[in-house]
Amino acid sequence: MKVYTLIFFIFFITSFNLQASTNLQQLSQHPTWLKLGHYKKPVFDKSYITNKSFFISANGHKSPFDELRATVHHFNNDSQMQCKYPARYTWLKKQGLTFSQPKALCPELFQWRDEQPIHSISLVFASGYMSNPASLYGHLLLKLNRSTATKSKLLDYSINYGAHVPENENGLVYITKGLFGGYKAGFSDQLFYRHQHNYGEIELRDLWEYKLNLNNDDTTFIANHLWELLGAQFDYYFADENCAFHIAQLIELVIGEQLTNNSSPWMIPTTVFSKLHQASYKNHKLLKKILFTPSRSTVFTQYMKELSTNESAIAEKIYNSPKYIKHNEFSALNVKSKKLIIETLFELVQLQQIKKQDVGHIKDLKSTLIKARLALPIGNEMSVSSYSQQAPHKGQKPSKISISSTRINEQSSLGLGFRLSYFDSLASDVARIAFSNLEMVDSEVSFLNSNLYVDKLHLLDLESFSPAYVKWPQENNLSWKINAGFERQSTLCQSCTSTFLMGGLGKSFLFNDNKTLVFTLANAYVGKLAATEQLYDSSLELGVITTLYSDIKLRVSHEQFILGNDEKSTTQAEISIPINQNFDVRISYKHTNLTSWKLKLNYYWQ
Amino acid sequence: MIKKCLTAAVLASAFIVTPAQAKVNPWQQCGIGAMIFPDNGTAAAISNIIWDLGTTAVSSNVSSVESCEGANVKTALFIQQTFPILEQEIAQGEGEYISAMLNVRGCNSAAHPQMISTIRNDFSQTSVNDAQALYTLVESNIASQFSANCSAI
């Protein structure tokens, strides 16, 4: 009897262990477990997280099962592991697992998460910033909201994902490693005021906050997982494994919808917001509301519009000579007008302080304004009900394919085009810097007489115009341009090709209620150039970008080369007619040695 | 019950006054003065990268001294980073940054209007040219008039 009992017992234990192991095996392939370990799709045999200290098992970085088994073992033997991995613990308990260790208190986690409770989650978009290559596409960060009616949102937690870049890194190394790998990256948590201040007040980038409709359990689950991730290290790749990708993956942990695309070689922050806007969560919209925080420059431009002509004229006089604040013209104004003028000048002073322009004068002006404002009653007078800026999900999608028909000298050719990203100067102004151009890997081929011609391959085409948006002060900064790639002047011309690197500097000016930009550029070229036998050339360029009607835009430019041969100028014009967010039609004219007309249909996607 | 007691203990520990915290000069002893703060776009772009890596600049990079983790040091850091805006908001008598600063300092929101008004009044009568001077002004106001409205440090 005892032998049978023993055999039965051994069989029971063995089958129990086998069943437990089978259950763990199944559980280790659960989508949530794979997301908690940041395992790479589609095989899940490697994690995005590169530091082994994040994993409990020595094989954890490559084996979800080993990591799960080790996690269960540690939860049974060390209650403090609950504090290190609160998301894993919560999830495994929900799956029906029980552990021999009692629930731990985790005071540090409690203080971080619950002392001022995290009640909701937002994703924040910082608009693009042309002065830093890593910020051209905008930035995405996550906000753990703790604010209440009496606690400022500036003290919410903001979770940022960024590369670990050494101080004083060489610019070329920065770009190379950013694109091709070499930097480690990680998450950090800081109070939101640091980001609002850095982005909005110093880099002058508008912020868009997308508040999510997650329930309390899922909000806490994401917060718990972030707690686990704060020491984790990742490999950084600017194009795809960037802030947008890794922060969107955190949201994917609970929503059951894809915000990222693992097979795509690039990931752009605005794409996440487009998908976020469409996503559903537990039978309702994932997005709860969108909040806009204007940058300092946006605020100043808007304040200037709010001033009357007389107030603006007096403000200009005070700006030029702070002593004018004692002049009768200012003293005679009512309190409201005085406040409006001072508040507008305060915004301007902050902008000038950032730019470090005319430091002594600005310091005197600020001191004068503070004294004058202290003598007036408490409370702001300026009130802007709404800004014209539109949310990033309404913007044109970044990638483009096109089909075109070109007519040159009575011959027609069919063209196809592909652009990796992001926008050109005729694109919708939503969520981008107006008039600017930021295109990467923009290519066009054409078919003529059964032959295929590469007409264009621009690796990088950047244009940034910085016109003065207000009548005074004339903040007219330099415009600049960089372009690198290959171009054929026309499909019919076999020898008219250029492989070049060019840069330009110039000025730009606004007219027509800021709807028309006139620019001038002095350009320099190096490479194999169509217009000259030499390896370098230079040109002067004059152009106009304007809105004709609604969103219909026109760009006209004339470029005169200095060193070229007889064919030494290019005249171009292009009209953009938007159909919807995904399509537009372009009609363009180009005259070099030949004249061409092109009709193009663009489809924007991602 | 045990959980509630421990929770209360954790909450209370956040507000325990230690003599070291009360007397500390954040600029001299916690390294705030030595920290580099961005004041233009390029510096901010670089410092974003630096700042956004550690958990907090004070605890991970500059000082691990326990006395540098009090509400007063966090307030000093806040003032140091946002001084130009605070100057403007104090002159105007309201604003989200000045309110956030008082939140950081652990001051009851009901007392904010009175505190801002008092700070504004003193601001108009004394020379406050930098972050440290503003911090001193704020702390002296709390010590003399608003200690009951703000957390001990």
B61 touches chain A (CB under 8 A): no
Give me the residues of A, 358-397, that contact B with CB < 8 A.
366, 369-371, 373-375, 377-380
A242 touches chain B (CB under 8 A): no
d(CA A147, CA A291): 14
Q: Shortest CA distance to A541 belongs to which of A509, A518, A575, A564?
A: A518
Contact state of A369 with B96 under an 8 Å Cβ cutoff: no
Contact state of B39 with A151 under an 8 Å Cβ cutoff: no
Average pLDDT rounded to a whole number, residues A111-125:
95
d(CA A150, CA B109): 6
d(CA A128, CA A135): 6
Q: What is the per-residue pLDDT across A211-233, written as a single tens digit (0 to 9) for each?
A: 999 999 999 999 999 999 988 99
Helices (H), A294-451: 296-306, 309-320, 328-331, 335-355, 359-374
Give me the residues of A, 417-476, that contact B with CB < 8 A.
none
pLDDT higher for A411 or A234?
A234
A231 touches chain B (CB under 8 A): no
Query: Exposed/middle/buried for A463, CB within 10 Å: 0-12, 13-18, 19+?
Result: buried
Confidence of residue A206 (pLDDT cuts 50, 70, 90): very high
Give B93's contacts in chain A (Cβ within 8 Å): 377-379
d(CA B24, CA B72): 9
Q: Shortest CA distance to A80 belongs to which of A58, A96, A102?
A: A102
Contact state of B96 with A154 under an 8 Å Cβ cutoff: yes
Give me the residues of B, 77-136, that contact A with CB < 8 A.
78, 81-82, 84-85, 87-88, 91-97, 99-100, 103-104, 109-110, 116-117, 120, 123-124
A343 touches chain B (CB under 8 A): yes
Please tell me the total count of domains within chain B. Answer: 1
Give B96's contacts in chain A (Cβ within 8 Å): 152-154
Contact state of A378 with B10 under an 8 Å Cβ cutoff: no
- Tell whether the model's pLDDT for residue A56 goes beyond 90: yes
Q: What share of chain B is helix, strand, coil (3-state, %, to 5)?
A: 70, 0, 25
Mean pLDDT for all residues in chain B = 72
Does residue B125 belong to any structural domain of this protein? yes
Q: What is the per-residue pLDDT across A133-158, written as a single tens digit (0 to 9) for each?
A: 667 788 999 999 999 999 999 999 99
CATH class of the domain at A114-293: alpha beta
Contact state of A203 with B45 under an 8 Å Cβ cutoff: yes
A164 touches chain B (CB under 8 A): yes
Give B85's contacts in chain A (Cβ within 8 Å): 197, 201, 350
Give me the residues of A, 195-224, that contact B with CB < 8 A.
197-198, 201-204
User: What pLDDT, on the 0 to 100 scale, is given for residue B66?
Assistant: 59
Contact state of B92 with A151 under an 8 Å Cβ cutoff: no
- Tell whether the model's pLDDT for residue A414 goes beyond 90: yes
CB A42: neighbour CB atoms within 10 A?
Answer: 7
Chosen for mutation from B37, B55, B80, B92 (greatest number of chain A CBs closer than 10 Å) is B92
Contact state of A162 with B84 under an 8 Å Cβ cutoff: no
B16 touches chain A (CB under 8 A): no
The kind and range of the H/E element at A210 are: strand A207-212
Contact state of B91 with A370 under an 8 Å Cβ cutoff: yes
* Lowest-confidence region among A126-130, A501-505, B29-33: B29-33
User: Which residues 6+ apart lie within 8 Å of A425 measured at CB?
Assistant: A435, A436, A437, A463, A545, A555
**b/e per residue B56-93 (b: at least 16 CB within 10 A):** bbbeeebbebebbbbbbbbbbbbbbbbbbbbbbbbbbb
The pair phi, psi for residue A436, each rounded to 5°, is -80, 170
d(CA A368, CA A315): 13
Contact state of B91 with A374 under an 8 Å Cβ cutoff: yes
Task: Say if CB A376 and CB A343 are below 8 A apart.
Answer: no
Q: How far is B49 from chain A (nearest CA, A)?
A: 6
Q: Say how many Å lie between the first and final Cα of chain B, rounded.
A: 28
User: What pLDDT, on the 0 to 100 scale, is given for residue A474?
Assistant: 67
Torsion of the alpha carbons at A169, A171, A172 and A174, rounded to the nearest 10: 60
A510 touches chain B (CB under 8 A): no
* Lowest-confidence region among A306-310, A352-356, B10-14: B10-14
Confidence of residue A335 (pLDDT cuts 50, 70, 90): very high
Does residue B78 belong to any structural domain of this protein? yes
Could you tell me the residue ranges of all domains in chain A?
A: 18-105, 114-293, 297-374, 395-605
Nearest to A194 among B3, B51, B117 (CB): B51
Q: What share of chain A is helix, strand, coil (3-state, %, to 5)?
A: 35, 30, 35
Average pLDDT rounded to a whole number, residues A423-439:
89
Give me the residues of B, 29-58, that contact A with CB < 8 A.
38-56
The residues that bridge with A511 in the sheet, in sequence order, are A516
Task: Say if CB A74 and CB A81 are below 8 A apart.
Answer: yes
Is the backbone of residue B3 left (phi > 0), alpha (psi -120 to 50) or beta? alpha
Place of tokens 């016109």: A467
| Tokens at A227, concatenated | 């707690």
Contact state of B82 with A198 under an 8 Å Cβ cutoff: no
ipTM (interface predicted TM): 0.83
User: What pLDDT, on the 0 to 100 scale, is given for residue B126?
Assistant: 87
Confidence of residue A39 (pLDDT cuts 50, 70, 90): very high
The residue type found at B82 is T
User: Collapsing DSSP states into helix, strand and coil, what is residue B124?
Assistant: helix
Contact state of A356 with B40 under an 8 Å Cβ cutoff: yes
- Cα B142 → chain centroid: 12
Q: What is the per-residue pLDDT across A550-581, written as a single tens digit (0 to 9) for each?
A: 889 999 999 998 886 665 889 999 999 999 98
- Tell whether the model's pLDDT for residue A1 goes beyond 80: no
Task: Say if CB A67 and CB A39 are below 8 A apart.
Answer: no
Average pLDDT rounded to a whole number, residues B87-105:
95
Confidence of residue A594 (pLDDT cuts 50, 70, 90): confident
Q: How far is A152 from chain B (nearest CA, A)?
A: 5
User: What pLDDT, on the 0 to 100 scale, is given for residue A581?
Assistant: 86
Average pLDDT rounded to a whole number, residues A274-284:
94
Contact state of A203 with B117 under an 8 Å Cβ cutoff: no
d(CA A170, CA A189): 27
3-state SS of A223-272 is HHHHHHHCCCCEEECCCCCCHHHHHHHHHHHHHCCCCCCCCCCCCCHHHH
Q: How far is A381 from chain B (nearest CA, A)?
A: 9
Q: What is the per-residue pLDDT across A354-402, written as a single tens digit (0 to 9) for each?
A: 877 788 999 999 999 999 999 999 999 988 878 888 999 998 899 999 9
d(CA B12, CA A299): 41
Give B56's contacts in chain A (Cβ within 8 Å): 190
Range of the domain at B30: 17-146
Confidence of residue B103 (pLDDT cuts 50, 70, 90): very high
pTM for the full predicted model:
0.86
- Tell whether the model's pLDDT for residue A477 goes beyond 80: no
The residue type found at A215 is N
Does residue B9 belong to any structural domain of this protein? no
Mean pLDDT for all residues in chain A = 90
User: What pLDDT, on the 0 to 100 scale, is given for residue A413?
Assistant: 92
- Tell whether the model's pLDDT for residue A21 goes beyond 80: no
User: What pLDDT, on the 0 to 100 scale, is given for residue A190?
Assistant: 87
Q: What is the per-residue pLDDT across B127-149, written as a single tens digit (0 to 9) for each?
A: 888 999 999 999 999 999 999 99
- Tell whether the model's pLDDT for residue B5 goes beyond 60: no
d(CA A582, CA A90): 42
Q: What is the per-residue pLDDT across B34-78, written as a single tens digit (0 to 9) for each?
A: 554 444 444 444 333 333 322 233 333 333 455 677 888 889 989
* Domains A114-293 and A395-605 belong to one CATH topology: no
Q: Shortest CA distance to A233 belongs to which of A295, A186, A278?
A: A186
Cα–Cα–Cα angle for A417, A244, A424, nearest 5°?
30
Q: How far is A223 from chain B (nearest CA, A)?
A: 15
Q: What fold, for A395-605?
A: Porin (2.40.160)
Confidence of residue A61 (pLDDT cuts 50, 70, 90): very high
Provide the CB-side half-sphere exposure for A420 (13 A, CA).
17
d(CA A205, CA A200): 5
Contact state of B46 with A164 under an 8 Å Cβ cutoff: no
Confidence of residue A40 (pLDDT cuts 50, 70, 90): very high
d(CA A131, CA A424): 17
User: What pLDDT, on the 0 to 100 scale, is given for residue A588?
Assistant: 97
* Lowest-confidence region among A493-497, B6-10, B130-134: B6-10
User: What pLDDT, on the 0 to 100 scale, is given for residue A567?
Assistant: 57
* Percent of chain A topping pLDDT 70: 94
Average pLDDT rounded to a whole number, residues A96-115:
93
Nearest CA in chain A to B99: A152
Chosen for mutation from B48, B60, B97, B130 (greatest number of chain A CBs closer than 10 Å) is B48
